[in-house]
């Protein structure tokens, strides 16, 4: 990767998905790259609650470079990546990836930014295609009379039994237990019959 023309510090960010995983490999690589400080999250990449990411984004100053081991440790998606790198750039903060995709591209140069934006546009296009295909599949299933979701717990037979037992004065708790459903499910099924 091309060397950044920044005058500040190299600041590292590492992330592992679960408490069972260890971030030592990432921290070692970030230290070896010259990071003066490293922030580490233990959170899923899909999680929006990544306090150390928020902390590192608050900590970095103009002239600094934010360094990550791999892209998937930093951003939840390529669109998210483009947005965050753009926000860093506006603040005068560089971005560097040590390994994996885009490691040889400097997103702080015009060529690197173009490449990052092309990759982001491709990801957005793919997401749109997936959404269209999913909707087309749902529409086709609906046209054939199929719907998604969980099957109903209370069928017509169970509802008839529940109403008959309720009419005899049996408690909702006893009926729900006998039918193998929750009280809430039984209340919803009985509706105004309560």
In the chain, helix, strand, coil percent, each to 5?
50, 10, 40
Residue of 17, 44, 77, 89 with catalytic role: 17
- The verdict on pTM exceeding 0.75 is no
User: CA 50, CA 58: separation in Å to the nearest integer?
Assistant: 13
Q: CB–CB of 49/41 below 8 Å?
A: no
Q: Is 17 a catalytic residue?
A: yes
Q: Where in the chain are the domains?
A: 10-122, 156-189
Token code pair at residue 33: 């790259």
Query: Looking up tokens 């109903």, which residue turns up?
Result: 152
pLDDT of residue 61: 95
CA-based torsion, 32, 33, 38, 44: positive or negative: negative
Cα 1 vs. chain centroid, distance in angstroms? 28
Token code pair at residue 172: 């909702």
pLDDT of the chain, 194 residues: tens digit per residue: 444 444 689 999 999 877 667 788 999 999 999 999 999 998 765 666 789 999 999 999 999 999 999 877 888 777 788 788 889 989 999 998 898 767 777 777 788 778 777 776 776 777 788 889 888 888 888 888 887 777 788 888 899 999 999 999 999 999 999 999 999 988 888 885 54
Report the length, in residues, of the chain.
194
User: CA 114, CA 127: separation in Å to the nearest integer?
Assistant: 20
Please, what CATH class does the domain formed by 10-122 belong to?
alpha beta
Angle at 34 between CA 99 and CA 109, to 5 degrees: 60
pLDDT of residue 45: 58
Residues sharing a CB contact under 8 Å with residue 64, sequence separation 6 or more, in sequence order? 6, 8, 9, 10, 11, 93, 94
Q: For the chain, how long is the longest CA-to-CA vector?
A: 83
pLDDT of residue 55: 95
User: CA 151, CA 66: separation in Å to the nearest integer?
Assistant: 49
């Amino acid at each position: 990767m091309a060397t950044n023309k920044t005058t500040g510090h190299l600041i590292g960010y590492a992330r592992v998905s679960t408490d069972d995983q260890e971030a030592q490999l990432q921290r070692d690589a970030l230290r070896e790259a010259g990071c003066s400080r490293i922030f580490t999250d233990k959170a899923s990449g899909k999680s929006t609650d990544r306090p150390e990411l928020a902390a590192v984004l608050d900590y970095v100053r103009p002239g600094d470079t934010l360094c990550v081991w791999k892209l998937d440790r930093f951003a939840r998606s390529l669109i998210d990546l483009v947005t965050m790198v753009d926000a860093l750039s506006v603040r005068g903060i560089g971005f560097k990836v040590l390994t994996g995709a885009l490691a040889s591209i400097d997103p702080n140069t015009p060529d690197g930014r173009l490449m990052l934006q092309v990759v982001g546009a491709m990801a957005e296009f793919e997401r749109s295609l997936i959404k269209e295909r999913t909707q087309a599949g749902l529409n086709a299933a609906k046209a054939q009379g199929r719907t998604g979701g969980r099957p109903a717990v209370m069928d017509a037979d169970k509802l008839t039994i529940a109403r008959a037992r309720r009419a005899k004065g049996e408690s909702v708790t006893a009926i729900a237990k006998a039918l193998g459903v929750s009280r809430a499910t039984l209340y919803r099924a009985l509706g105004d019959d309560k």
